[in-house]
Chain A
Protein backbone atom coordinates (compact mmCIF):
# COMPACT_ATOMS: atom_id res chain seq x y z
CA UNK A 1 0.00 0.00 0.00
CA UNK A 2 2.69 2.48 1.07
CA UNK A 3 4.88 1.47 -1.85
CA UNK A 4 1.96 2.04 -4.27
CA UNK A 5 1.43 5.54 -2.85
CA UNK A 6 5.15 6.31 -3.14
CA UNK A 7 5.15 5.06 -6.74
CA UNK A 8 2.14 7.10 -7.82
CA UNK A 9 3.28 10.31 -6.13
CA UNK A 10 6.97 9.73 -6.86
CA UNK A 11 7.49 13.10 -8.64
CA UNK A 12 5.98 14.95 -5.67
CA UNK A 13 8.06 13.12 -3.06
CA UNK A 14 11.14 13.45 -5.25
CA UNK A 15 10.49 17.17 -5.58
CA UNK A 16 10.44 17.50 -1.81
CA UNK A 17 13.68 15.52 -1.54
CA UNK A 18 15.25 17.87 -4.09
CA UNK A 19 13.91 20.91 -2.24
CA UNK A 20 15.36 19.65 1.04
CA UNK A 21 18.63 18.97 -0.75
CA UNK A 22 18.84 22.52 -2.05
CA UNK A 23 18.26 23.88 1.45
CA UNK A 24 20.82 21.49 2.96
CA UNK A 25 23.36 22.42 0.31
CA UNK A 26 22.78 26.14 0.92
CA UNK A 27 23.13 25.72 4.70
CA UNK A 28 26.39 23.82 4.17
CA UNK A 29 27.65 26.88 2.28
CA UNK A 30 26.26 29.14 5.08
CA UNK A 31 23.55 30.56 2.83
CA UNK A 32 19.82 30.84 3.47
CA UNK A 33 18.80 28.71 0.53
CA UNK A 34 15.54 28.65 -1.47
CA UNK A 35 12.15 27.73 0.06
CA UNK A 36 11.16 24.07 0.33
CA UNK A 37 8.67 24.34 -2.54
CA UNK A 38 11.26 25.82 -4.92
CA UNK A 39 11.40 22.76 -7.26
CA UNK A 40 7.64 23.02 -7.77
CA UNK A 41 7.85 26.75 -8.46
CA UNK A 42 10.47 25.94 -11.09
CA UNK A 43 8.17 23.23 -12.44
CA UNK A 44 5.22 25.61 -12.83
CA UNK A 45 7.41 28.32 -14.30
CA UNK A 46 8.78 25.95 -16.94
CA UNK A 47 5.18 24.99 -17.85
CA UNK A 48 4.64 28.61 -18.82
CA UNK A 49 7.57 28.90 -21.25
CA UNK A 50 7.15 28.74 -25.01
CA UNK A 51 7.81 25.19 -26.20
CA UNK A 52 10.81 25.10 -28.52
CA UNK A 53 12.07 21.72 -29.70
CA UNK A 54 15.09 20.80 -31.80
CA UNK A 55 13.25 17.95 -33.53
CA UNK A 56 10.41 15.77 -32.37
CA UNK A 57 12.52 12.66 -31.70
CA UNK A 58 14.77 14.62 -29.34
CA UNK A 59 11.76 15.86 -27.37
CA UNK A 60 10.24 12.37 -27.36
CA UNK A 61 13.41 10.89 -25.87
CA UNK A 62 13.32 13.51 -23.09
CA UNK A 63 9.77 12.49 -22.18
CA UNK A 64 10.74 8.83 -22.59
CA UNK A 65 13.48 9.33 -19.99
CA UNK A 66 10.88 10.57 -17.50
CA UNK A 67 8.44 7.73 -18.21
CA UNK A 68 11.10 5.00 -18.14
CA UNK A 69 12.52 6.38 -14.90
CA UNK A 70 9.06 6.29 -13.31
CA UNK A 71 8.48 2.79 -14.69
CA UNK A 72 11.78 1.56 -13.25
CA UNK A 73 10.74 2.93 -9.86
CA UNK A 74 7.34 1.21 -10.19
CA UNK A 75 9.02 -2.10 -11.01
CA UNK A 76 11.32 -1.64 -8.02
CA UNK A 77 8.67 -0.68 -5.49
CA UNK A 78 5.66 -2.75 -6.53
CA UNK A 79 7.18 -6.03 -5.45
CA UNK A 80 9.15 -7.24 -8.42
CA UNK A 81 12.61 -8.45 -9.20
CA UNK A 82 15.36 -6.07 -8.09
CA UNK A 83 17.45 -7.15 -11.06
CA UNK A 84 14.71 -6.21 -13.53
CA UNK A 85 14.37 -2.79 -11.88
CA UNK A 86 18.10 -2.23 -12.44
CA UNK A 87 17.74 -3.12 -16.10
CA UNK A 88 14.71 -0.85 -16.59
CA UNK A 89 16.80 1.96 -15.18
CA UNK A 90 19.26 1.29 -18.01
CA UNK A 91 16.44 1.91 -20.51
CA UNK A 92 15.78 5.33 -18.95
CA UNK A 93 19.44 6.34 -19.16
CA UNK A 94 19.66 5.01 -22.73
CA UNK A 95 16.69 7.18 -23.76
CA UNK A 96 18.58 10.16 -22.42
CA UNK A 97 21.75 9.13 -24.27
CA UNK A 98 19.96 8.50 -27.59
CA UNK A 99 18.12 11.81 -27.37
CA UNK A 100 21.27 13.73 -26.49
CA UNK A 101 23.30 12.22 -29.33
CA UNK A 102 20.58 12.94 -31.92
CA UNK A 103 21.30 16.69 -32.00
CA UNK A 104 24.23 18.55 -33.51
CA UNK A 105 25.32 20.40 -30.38
CA UNK A 106 28.78 19.12 -29.51
CA UNK A 107 28.20 19.64 -25.78
CA UNK A 108 25.13 17.46 -25.97
CA UNK A 109 26.96 14.66 -27.80
CA UNK A 110 29.89 14.92 -25.39
CA UNK A 111 27.45 14.70 -22.49
CA UNK A 112 25.85 11.61 -24.01
CA UNK A 113 29.23 9.87 -24.30
CA UNK A 114 30.04 10.78 -20.71
CA UNK A 115 26.65 9.47 -19.60
CA UNK A 116 27.68 6.12 -21.10
CA UNK A 117 30.90 6.33 -19.07
CA UNK A 118 28.72 6.83 -15.99
CA UNK A 119 26.75 3.75 -16.96
CA UNK A 120 29.75 1.47 -17.31
CA UNK A 121 30.93 2.75 -13.92
CA UNK A 122 27.82 2.22 -11.83
CA UNK A 123 25.89 -0.54 -13.60
CA UNK A 124 28.17 -3.50 -12.60
CA UNK A 125 28.12 -2.13 -9.07
CA UNK A 126 24.30 -2.12 -9.03
CA UNK A 127 24.15 -5.69 -10.34
CA UNK A 128 26.70 -6.83 -7.73
CA UNK A 129 24.63 -5.16 -5.03
CA UNK A 130 21.48 -6.97 -6.14
CA UNK A 131 23.38 -10.28 -6.28
CA UNK A 132 24.65 -9.71 -2.75
CA UNK A 133 21.06 -9.09 -1.61
CA UNK A 134 20.18 -12.43 -3.18
CA UNK A 135 22.98 -14.18 -1.29
CA UNK A 136 21.86 -12.72 2.03
CA UNK A 137 18.09 -12.93 1.68
CA UNK A 138 17.77 -15.83 -0.78
CA UNK A 139 15.45 -14.01 -3.15
CA UNK A 140 15.46 -11.22 -5.71
CA UNK A 141 12.01 -10.11 -4.56
CA UNK A 142 11.83 -6.75 -2.78
CA UNK A 143 9.11 -8.08 -0.41
CA UNK A 144 11.45 -10.80 0.85
CA UNK A 145 14.21 -8.23 1.37
CA UNK A 146 11.85 -6.00 3.35
CA UNK A 147 10.70 -8.98 5.47
CA UNK A 148 14.21 -10.29 6.13
CA UNK A 149 14.56 -10.45 9.91
CA UNK A 150 18.35 -10.03 10.04
CA UNK A 151 20.41 -6.93 9.33
CA UNK A 152 21.63 -6.95 5.68
CA UNK A 153 23.99 -4.06 6.46
CA UNK A 154 25.97 -6.33 8.82
CA UNK A 155 26.47 -8.89 6.06
CA UNK A 156 27.19 -6.29 3.38
CA UNK A 157 29.31 -3.50 4.90
CA UNK A 158 31.68 -3.29 1.93
CA UNK A 159 28.83 -3.35 -0.57
CA UNK A 160 27.14 -0.52 1.33
CA UNK A 161 30.36 1.48 1.37
CA UNK A 162 30.85 0.96 -2.37
CA UNK A 163 27.23 1.89 -3.09
CA UNK A 164 27.59 5.02 -0.98
CA UNK A 165 30.37 6.17 -3.30
CA UNK A 166 28.32 5.10 -6.34
CA UNK A 167 25.40 7.40 -5.44
CA UNK A 168 27.26 10.55 -6.68
CA UNK A 169 27.58 8.85 -10.08
CA UNK A 170 23.87 8.01 -10.20
CA UNK A 171 22.65 11.40 -9.01
CA UNK A 172 25.24 13.49 -10.92
CA UNK A 173 26.96 14.94 -7.89
CA UNK A 174 30.50 16.16 -7.44
CA UNK A 175 33.12 14.59 -7.67
CA UNK A 176 31.38 12.41 -10.27
CA UNK A 177 29.08 14.94 -11.98
CA UNK A 178 30.96 14.37 -15.19
CA UNK A 179 28.07 14.03 -17.65
CA UNK A 180 26.30 17.11 -16.30
CA UNK A 181 29.34 19.34 -15.74
CA UNK A 182 27.62 22.72 -15.47
CA UNK A 183 30.76 24.84 -15.72
CA UNK A 184 32.27 22.72 -18.46
CA UNK A 185 29.65 21.34 -20.86
CA UNK A 186 26.66 23.28 -19.45
CA UNK A 187 24.43 20.41 -18.46
CA UNK A 188 25.57 17.82 -21.00
CA UNK A 189 22.61 15.73 -22.24
CA UNK A 190 20.05 18.27 -21.02
CA UNK A 191 21.55 21.31 -22.76
CA UNK A 192 19.22 21.38 -25.78
CA UNK A 193 15.98 20.84 -23.86
CA UNK A 194 13.93 23.90 -23.04
CA UNK A 195 10.61 24.80 -21.46
CA UNK A 196 8.16 21.91 -21.00
CA UNK A 197 10.61 19.37 -22.43
CA UNK A 198 13.31 20.31 -19.95
CA UNK A 199 10.65 19.79 -17.32
CA UNK A 200 10.56 16.07 -18.17
CA UNK A 201 14.28 15.76 -17.45
CA UNK A 202 14.06 17.94 -14.36
CA UNK A 203 11.28 15.76 -12.93
CA UNK A 204 12.99 12.55 -14.01
CA UNK A 205 15.90 13.53 -11.78
CA UNK A 206 13.57 13.81 -8.79
CA UNK A 207 12.32 10.27 -9.41
CA UNK A 208 15.92 9.11 -9.60
CA UNK A 209 16.40 10.36 -6.03
CA UNK A 210 13.57 8.10 -4.81
CA UNK A 211 14.93 5.20 -6.88
CA UNK A 212 18.44 5.46 -5.43
CA UNK A 213 17.42 5.99 -1.83
CA UNK A 214 15.05 3.02 -2.02
CA UNK A 215 18.10 0.84 -2.62
CA UNK A 216 19.77 2.43 0.41
CA UNK A 217 16.63 1.73 2.45
CA UNK A 218 16.81 -1.98 1.56
CA UNK A 219 20.06 -2.32 3.56
CA UNK A 220 17.94 -2.07 6.73
CA UNK A 221 15.95 -5.25 5.96
CA UNK A 222 12.75 -5.44 8.01
CA UNK A 223 14.12 -2.90 10.51
CA UNK A 224 12.66 0.23 8.94
CA UNK A 225 14.24 2.55 11.53
CA UNK A 226 17.67 1.30 10.45
CA UNK A 227 16.76 1.86 6.80
CA UNK A 228 15.61 5.41 7.57
CA UNK A 229 18.85 6.16 9.45
CA UNK A 230 20.89 4.82 6.53
CA UNK A 231 18.91 6.95 4.05
CA UNK A 232 19.42 10.14 6.09
CA UNK A 233 23.09 9.36 6.64
CA UNK A 234 23.75 8.68 2.96
CA UNK A 235 21.77 11.81 1.94
CA UNK A 236 23.89 14.02 4.20
CA UNK A 237 27.11 12.24 3.24
CA UNK A 238 26.48 12.64 -0.48
CA UNK A 239 25.68 16.35 -0.05
CA UNK A 240 28.78 16.90 2.07
CA UNK A 241 30.88 15.17 -0.59
CA UNK A 242 29.17 17.24 -3.29
CA UNK A 243 30.02 20.49 -1.52
CA UNK A 244 33.58 19.66 -0.57
CA UNK A 245 35.07 18.09 -3.68
CA UNK A 246 35.95 19.14 -7.22
CA UNK A 247 35.01 17.34 -10.42
CA UNK A 248 37.22 14.47 -11.59
CA UNK A 249 38.16 13.41 -15.10
CA UNK A 250 35.94 10.68 -16.54
CA UNK A 251 38.95 8.32 -16.74
CA UNK A 252 39.51 8.74 -13.00
CA UNK A 253 35.87 7.91 -12.38
CA UNK A 254 35.92 4.73 -14.46
CA UNK A 255 39.24 3.68 -12.91
CA UNK A 256 37.94 4.36 -9.41
CA UNK A 257 34.78 2.37 -10.07
CA UNK A 258 36.52 -0.61 -11.63
CA UNK A 259 39.68 -0.66 -9.48
CA UNK A 260 38.22 0.17 -6.06
CA UNK A 261 34.44 -0.04 -5.79
CA UNK A 262 33.71 -3.17 -7.82
CA UNK A 263 36.58 -5.23 -6.26
CA UNK A 264 35.36 -4.17 -2.80
CA UNK A 265 31.82 -5.27 -3.54
CA UNK A 266 33.05 -8.46 -5.22
CA UNK A 267 35.22 -9.25 -2.18
CA UNK A 268 32.15 -8.90 0.03
CA UNK A 269 30.15 -11.18 -2.27
CA UNK A 270 32.94 -13.81 -2.35
CA UNK A 271 33.31 -13.82 1.44
CA UNK A 272 29.54 -14.12 1.77
CA UNK A 273 29.50 -17.09 -0.60
CA UNK A 274 32.37 -18.84 1.24
CA UNK A 275 31.01 -18.43 4.76
Chain B
Protein backbone atom coordinates (compact mmCIF):
# COMPACT_ATOMS: atom_id res chain seq x y z
CA UNK B 1 0.00 0.00 0.00
CA UNK B 2 2.12 2.86 -1.24
CA UNK B 3 1.37 6.37 -2.41
CA UNK B 4 0.34 5.22 -5.85
CA UNK B 5 -2.23 2.71 -4.61
CA UNK B 6 -4.65 5.54 -3.83
CA UNK B 7 -5.01 6.27 -7.52
CA UNK B 8 -6.15 2.77 -8.45
CA UNK B 9 -9.82 3.53 -8.05
CA UNK B 10 -9.50 6.49 -10.41
CA UNK B 11 -8.60 4.51 -13.51
CA UNK B 12 -9.88 0.94 -13.77
CA UNK B 13 -9.11 -0.35 -17.25
CA UNK B 14 -11.43 -3.14 -18.30
CA UNK B 15 -10.70 -6.14 -20.50
CA UNK B 16 -13.92 -7.65 -21.76
CA UNK B 17 -14.04 -11.23 -22.97
CA UNK B 18 -17.06 -13.18 -24.18
CA UNK B 19 -16.65 -16.93 -23.68
CA UNK B 20 -19.52 -18.10 -25.85
CA UNK B 21 -22.58 -16.37 -24.40
CA UNK B 22 -25.51 -14.97 -26.38
CA UNK B 23 -24.07 -11.38 -26.67
CA UNK B 24 -26.82 -9.95 -24.47
CA UNK B 25 -24.31 -9.05 -21.76
CA UNK B 26 -21.95 -7.54 -24.32
CA UNK B 27 -24.68 -5.24 -25.56
CA UNK B 28 -25.23 -4.11 -21.97
CA UNK B 29 -21.49 -3.47 -21.62
CA UNK B 30 -21.56 -1.32 -24.75
CA UNK B 31 -24.59 0.51 -23.35
CA UNK B 32 -22.54 1.25 -20.25
CA UNK B 33 -19.85 2.88 -22.42
CA UNK B 34 -22.45 4.86 -24.40
CA UNK B 35 -23.56 8.43 -23.49
CA UNK B 36 -26.38 7.54 -21.08
CA UNK B 37 -24.28 5.69 -18.52
CA UNK B 38 -20.82 6.82 -19.77
CA UNK B 39 -18.49 4.76 -17.59
CA UNK B 40 -15.50 6.75 -18.87
CA UNK B 41 -16.42 9.55 -16.46
CA UNK B 42 -15.05 7.27 -13.73
CA UNK B 43 -11.88 6.77 -15.77
CA UNK B 44 -12.79 3.28 -16.93
CA UNK B 45 -11.72 2.38 -20.44
CA UNK B 46 -12.39 -0.74 -22.46
CA UNK B 47 -8.87 -1.88 -23.41
CA UNK B 48 -8.68 -4.86 -25.71
CA UNK B 49 -5.28 -5.78 -24.31
CA UNK B 50 -4.70 -8.04 -21.28
CA UNK B 51 -1.25 -6.58 -20.60
CA UNK B 52 -2.66 -3.12 -19.88
CA UNK B 53 -5.95 -4.11 -18.23
CA UNK B 54 -6.89 -4.27 -14.54
CA UNK B 55 -10.36 -5.80 -14.47
CA UNK B 56 -11.19 -8.92 -16.46
CA UNK B 57 -14.89 -8.83 -17.28
CA UNK B 58 -16.00 -12.29 -18.41
CA UNK B 59 -19.40 -13.09 -19.88
CA UNK B 60 -20.81 -16.41 -20.99
CA UNK B 61 -20.38 -20.06 -19.96
CA UNK B 62 -16.84 -21.10 -20.74
CA UNK B 63 -16.92 -23.28 -23.84
CA UNK B 64 -14.19 -25.89 -24.24
CA UNK B 65 -12.59 -23.95 -27.10
CA UNK B 66 -12.47 -20.75 -25.02
CA UNK B 67 -10.98 -22.36 -21.94
CA UNK B 68 -7.30 -21.98 -22.83
CA UNK B 69 -7.79 -18.46 -24.18
CA UNK B 70 -9.51 -17.38 -20.96
CA UNK B 71 -6.74 -18.93 -18.88
CA UNK B 72 -4.05 -17.19 -20.91
CA UNK B 73 -5.82 -13.83 -20.72
CA UNK B 74 -5.98 -14.20 -16.95
CA UNK B 75 -2.31 -15.13 -16.64
CA UNK B 76 -1.15 -12.36 -18.99
CA UNK B 77 -2.72 -9.59 -16.93
CA UNK B 78 -0.18 -7.99 -14.58
CA UNK B 79 -1.09 -7.89 -10.89
CA UNK B 80 -3.00 -6.40 -9.10
CA UNK B 81 -6.03 -7.63 -11.03
CA UNK B 82 -9.67 -8.53 -10.42
CA UNK B 83 -11.97 -10.91 -12.23
CA UNK B 84 -15.65 -10.04 -12.65
CA UNK B 85 -18.06 -12.70 -13.92
CA UNK B 86 -21.13 -11.18 -15.53
CA UNK B 87 -24.51 -12.71 -16.31
CA UNK B 88 -26.27 -15.94 -15.47
CA UNK B 89 -24.10 -18.02 -17.83
CA UNK B 90 -20.96 -17.16 -15.91
CA UNK B 91 -22.56 -18.48 -12.71
CA UNK B 92 -22.37 -22.19 -13.42
CA UNK B 93 -23.44 -22.16 -17.02
CA UNK B 94 -26.98 -20.74 -16.95
CA UNK B 95 -29.12 -22.22 -19.71
CA UNK B 96 -26.04 -23.92 -21.15
CA UNK B 97 -25.31 -25.92 -17.97
CA UNK B 98 -24.26 -29.54 -18.51
CA UNK B 99 -24.03 -29.25 -22.26
CA UNK B 100 -21.27 -31.36 -23.75
CA UNK B 101 -19.22 -28.32 -24.91
CA UNK B 102 -19.42 -26.18 -21.77
CA UNK B 103 -17.23 -25.87 -18.67
CA UNK B 104 -20.14 -24.76 -16.42
CA UNK B 105 -19.14 -21.29 -15.37
CA UNK B 106 -16.12 -19.05 -15.07
CA UNK B 107 -14.93 -20.16 -11.62
CA UNK B 108 -14.16 -23.66 -12.89
CA UNK B 109 -11.27 -22.12 -14.86
CA UNK B 110 -10.09 -18.95 -13.13
CA UNK B 111 -10.70 -17.52 -9.62
CA UNK B 112 -13.55 -15.00 -9.61
CA UNK B 113 -13.78 -12.02 -7.23
CA UNK B 114 -17.12 -10.41 -8.09
CA UNK B 115 -20.32 -11.90 -9.48
CA UNK B 116 -22.91 -9.78 -11.30
CA UNK B 117 -26.23 -11.68 -11.46
CA UNK B 118 -28.93 -11.20 -14.07
CA UNK B 119 -29.75 -12.24 -17.61
CA UNK B 120 -28.66 -9.86 -18.89
CA UNK B 121 -27.62 -7.53 -16.02
CA UNK B 122 -28.75 -3.94 -16.16
CA UNK B 123 -26.00 -1.36 -16.88
CA UNK B 124 -26.59 -0.02 -13.36
CA UNK B 125 -25.90 -3.51 -11.97
CA UNK B 126 -22.73 -3.63 -14.07
CA UNK B 127 -21.53 -0.27 -12.69
CA UNK B 128 -22.31 -1.51 -9.17
CA UNK B 129 -20.26 -4.63 -9.84
CA UNK B 130 -17.33 -2.59 -11.18
CA UNK B 131 -17.42 -0.43 -8.03
CA UNK B 132 -17.38 -3.58 -5.90
CA UNK B 133 -14.47 -4.92 -7.97
CA UNK B 134 -12.55 -1.66 -7.40
CA UNK B 135 -13.04 -2.04 -3.62
CA UNK B 136 -11.51 -5.52 -3.78
CA UNK B 137 -8.80 -4.37 -6.17
CA UNK B 138 -7.65 -1.61 -3.80
CA UNK B 139 -6.78 -4.19 -1.14
CA UNK B 140 -4.74 -6.45 -3.44
CA UNK B 141 -0.94 -6.50 -3.59
CA UNK B 142 1.50 -6.79 -6.47
CA UNK B 143 2.42 -10.42 -5.68
CA UNK B 144 1.66 -13.13 -8.15
CA UNK B 145 -2.04 -13.78 -7.86
CA UNK B 146 -2.18 -17.47 -8.70
CA UNK B 147 0.43 -18.46 -6.11
CA UNK B 148 -1.75 -17.79 -3.09
CA UNK B 149 -4.89 -19.07 -1.45
CA UNK B 150 -6.13 -21.23 -4.27
CA UNK B 151 -7.15 -24.86 -4.07
CA UNK B 152 -5.10 -27.56 -5.77
CA UNK B 153 -7.80 -28.00 -8.40
CA UNK B 154 -7.68 -24.31 -9.30
CA UNK B 155 -3.89 -24.33 -9.66
CA UNK B 156 -4.18 -27.44 -11.85
CA UNK B 157 -6.84 -25.75 -13.98
CA UNK B 158 -4.67 -22.67 -14.44
CA UNK B 159 -1.74 -24.85 -15.48
CA UNK B 160 0.76 -23.06 -13.22
CA UNK B 161 1.96 -26.14 -11.30
CA UNK B 162 5.57 -25.82 -12.37
CA UNK B 163 5.85 -22.01 -12.11
Cβ of A104 under 8 Å from chain B: no
Which residue of B43, B48, B49, B142 is within 8 Å of A48 (Cβ)? Answer: B142
B126-153, CB < 8 A from A: 142, 144
B79's nearest neighbour on chain A, judged by CB, is A50
Cβ of B100 under 8 Å from chain A: no
Contacts A26-B38, A31-B35, A31-B41; is A47 near B4 (CB within 8 Å)? yes
CA distance A45 to B44 in the complex (A): 12
The answer to whether A49 and B49 touch across the interface, beta carbons within 8 angstroms, is no
A157-177, CB < 8 A from B: none
Cβ of A192 under 8 Å from chain B: yes
The answer to whether B78 and A34 touch across the interface, beta carbons within 8 angstroms, is no
- Interface-side segment among B6-14, B64-72, B82-90: B6-14
How many contacting A-B pairs (Cβ < 8 A)? Answer: 82
Contact with A along B16-55 (1 / 0, CB 8 A): 0000000000000000000100101111000011011010
Q: Nearest chain B CB to A239's CB is how many angstroms away?
A: 15
B49's nearest neighbour on chain A, judged by CB, is A186
The answer to whether A38 and B10 touch across the interface, beta carbons within 8 angstroms, is yes
Contact with B along A177-191 (1 / 0, CB 8 A): 000001100110001
Cβ of A87 under 8 Å from chain B: no
Interface size on A, as a range, is 20 to 34
CA distance A271 to B25 in the complex (A): 59
- Interface-side segment among A9-17, A132-140, A193-201, A241-249: A193-201
The answer to whether A52 and B4 touch across the interface, beta carbons within 8 angstroms, is no
The answer to whether A32 and B4 touch across the interface, beta carbons within 8 angstroms, is no
A50 CB contacts on chain B under 8 angstroms: 78-80, 142, 144
A44's nearest neighbour on chain B, judged by CB, is B7
Which residue of A30, A35, A38, A198 is within 8 Å of B51 (Cβ)? Answer: A198
The answer to whether A31 and B7 touch across the interface, beta carbons within 8 angstroms, is no
A187 CB contacts on chain B under 8 angstroms: 48-49, 52
CA distance A193 to B78 in the complex (A): 11
CA distance A35 to B54 in the complex (A): 19
A residues apposed to B, CB below 8 Å: 22, 26, 29-35, 38, 41-42, 44-45, 47-52, 182-183, 186-187, 191-195, 198
Given contacts A34-B40, A44-B3, 14 further A-B contacts (CB under 8 A): A31-B38, A31-B41, A33-B38, A33-B41, A38-B10, A41-B43, A44-B4, A45-B7, A45-B11, A47-B4, A50-B78, A182-B48, A187-B48, A198-B52
Top-10 shortest CB links A-B: A41-B10, A194-B51, A44-B7, A48-B4, A32-B41, A31-B38, A50-B79, A42-B11, A50-B78, A47-B4
